[in-house]
Structure 1
Amino acid sequence: MRQRRFLPSLSQLLAFEAVMQHHSVTAAAEELYLTQSTVSRLVQSLEAQLGITLFLRHRKKLVPTDAAIAYQVDISRAIDIIHGASIRAVANPEGGTLSLAVLPTFATRWLGPRLGRFLDEHPGISMNLSTRLERFNFETEPFDAAICFGDNDWPGTHGMKLFDERLTACVSTDFLSRNPISTPADMAGLPRLQLESRKTGWEDWFAGQNATVRGTSGMVMDQFSMMIQAAISGLGIALLPDYLAQNEIREGRLQPVLKQNIPGQGAYWLVWPHSRDTYAPLSTFRAWFALQTSEPLTD
């Protein structure tokens, strides 16, 4: 049960935030279209309800305490969440909005081409997408779910496995003409591009070729899109998720090296906080996603 003492009114919180932002009761009153005395009374009532001092009164000025400064961070975030939720409710009263955190290359190369189909099939649902490379706290970020890579061990969430990652090494035609590769041994001394989040990628790939890693060299990157462009430019051998590699191979911009579609470590997951288990737009998206990932991983 939520305790009433710790649930101030929105009027109290708006008055507090406005005073914190403007460092002035007069300016806060002008922003809120209230009188100065009303703003002062709302702030005082907030202090009384919480039982703490938020401002020190000094020569008719309100000086925020350390407690007020810390409190403002969370209150401003909460007000922004309420504001955003209200906008989404007004903009889409018959459906719902799904806010999704996505991996950049996965979003543009795999999810993006399919997303129009989802929106056509579910016209009442709107989507907001933002890129995230690292895990975050769902309690402080405005997302209903996230697409991530790794293991299903994100605290406080449920997860649906999308598919395992499988690896294919690729090079440009020019690079391959200068550096013929017929066996894993031919790769000794050649630059192998490395993704930060795939520490064992090359080790897994060489194991799939029944060979061992012979040292590492080449640039380290944080996104596959950068690695693809580097490989196309002839800067080294790219190790790509097979669903990405096939796009480049089909377009003739890269050529595969040795065996393709080698099992790697980790998988792609759709994860969501426990509080969003029954959120209708997310439930619809999960069901649709399950059908998409049951199909071959091609465009």
Structure 2
Amino acid sequence: MSGHKLPPLNALRAFEATARHLSVKNAAEELCVTPGAVSQMLKTLELHFGVALFRRVNRGILLTDAGQNYLPPVRNAFRQIVEASRRVTPAADTGILTVSVTPFFATAWLVPRLTTFQDAHPDIDLQLVTGPALVDFSRDGVDLAVRHGLGRYPGLRSERVLTVEVVPVAAPGLVARHGHPERPADLVRWPHVHDADRKGWHLWFQAQDVDEIGAPRGPAFDDPGLLLQAVLGGQGAGMLPAAMVALELAEGRLVKLADAAWLEDFAYYLVYPEGNRRQSKVAAFRSWILDAANGPVPA
């Protein structure tokens, strides 16, 4: 390593992204450059230090001991730069509001209601980013997130938006073929669609004191949005959160098969760093979404 000269910033960004993904290709996609460019930046950084930061194994890469020791302070430094930049920028409390949500929540609940937020706050440009994992608020530039869980997010504030009441639903055509069930036990013989672990129907039948016959049959989906599409397509009856299918029920595209609901331990929570609440755009969205959760289904 030559003196105390700082390594190139772009090379550090390439190192942090590659270490996080453990993939040159994914790092290149995130940084909007070619994999060859990322590889060259990593080589430059390793030459700068005179040590290897990654080792190649089979078709993947792993951090060396030197790389593992270097990653935490680099990641910390980037977080501090982002935080400092936010404090310096005068327009940090205006303009774009970035909200991270799960894809199903966005499609089934949030997007149909967003018109009322935009009408009330035309000065705020809302940007939705979707994904299953909780974001790094300081690194990813996200102001708020909505997540499905138990509401336990260390170091972050969380507020319950929706309690998840799971109810059995089916397409009208399937109900016409089988007849509307008179009691929960009637649904045992219906065709079913399942979530990935195939426990939804079992837990619901258990809550209704209904004994099932045999192992659960029918297709299973790891994405609730796909499960919903399968139910709408008449492939079987499904267990879905009542709040997430309120619009389909109101429009008659789905039929609720029983009033008895199974209350999940999980709920949808609004999650954000405590300091973000001081921003007027964050406070506006927080107030709106909590009101919308208690409001009517959009027409």
Q: Quote the offset at 1:111 in angstroms.
A: 1.3
Do structure 1's residue 221 and structure 2's residue 215 form an aligned pair?
no
Q: How does 1:75-114 map to 2 (within 5 A)?
A: 75=74, 95-114=94-113
Q: 6, 9, 12: which is aligned to 1:14?
A: 9
Partner of 1:162: 161
Instruction: Spell out, residue by residue over 1:45-69, the C-alpha distance to the aligned partner (whole angstroms, 9 max, x if none).
Output: xxxxxxxx9522xxxxxx7555775
Do structure 1's residue 212 and structure 2's residue 210 form an aligned pair?
yes
Q: Quote the offset at 1:23 in angstroms.
A: 4.1
Do structure 1's residue 131 and structure 2's residue 161 form an aligned pair?
no
Cα distance change of structure 1 residues 202 and 140 upon mapping to structure 2, 3 Å threshold: farther
Partner of 1:38: none
Partner of 2:253: 253
Partner of 2:292: 292
Give the distance between the partners of 1:19 and 1:227, measured in 2 at CA: 38
Cα distance change of structure 1 residues 214 and 134 upon mapping to structure 2, 3 Å threshold: farther
Structure whose CA Rg is larger: 1
Amino acid at match of 1:239: M
Query: In the alignment, is the contact (CA less than 8 A) between 1:168 and 1:259 conserved in 2?
Result: yes
State percent identity of aligned pairs. 26
Amino acid at match of 1:120: D
Give the distance between the partners of 2:261 and 2:107, measured in 1 at CA: 21
Secondary structure in structure 2 of the residue aligned to 1:258 = coil
Q: Quote the offset at 1:146 in angstroms.
A: 1.3
Q: 55, 60, 66: which is aligned to 2:49?
A: 55
Structure 2 runs not aligned, ≥5 long: 16-37, 54-63
Q: Quote the offset at 1:237 in angstroms.
A: 0.7
Do structure 1's residue 235 and structure 2's residue 230 form an aligned pair?
no
Structure 1 runs not aligned, ≥5 long: 1-7, 29-42, 44-52, 57-62
Q: How does 1:260-299 map to 2 (within 5 A)?
A: 263-299=263-299
RMSD: 4.2
Query: In the alignment, is the contact (CA less than 8 A) between 2:93 and 2:281 conserved in 1?
Result: no
Query: In the alignment, is the contact (CA less than 8 A) between 1:13 and 1:75 conserved in 2?
Result: no
Q: How does 1:142-157 map to 2 (within 5 A)?
A: 142-157=141-156
Q: Quote the offset at 1:169 in angstroms.
A: 1.3
Q: Quote the offset at 1:159 in angstroms.
A: 0.7
Give the distance between the partners of 1:91 and 1:277, measured in 2 at CA: 17
Q: Quote the offset at 1:96 in angstroms.
A: 4.0
Q: Quote the offset at 1:288 in angstroms.
A: 2.0
Q: Quote the offset at 1:192 in angstroms.
A: 2.4
Between the two proteins, the alignment pairs up a number of residues equal to 259
Partner of 1:5: none
Greater mean deviation of Cα atoms: 173-182 or 143-152: 173-182
Cα distance change of structure 1 residues 213 and 119 upon mapping to structure 2, 3 Å threshold: farther
Amino acid at match of 2:288: W
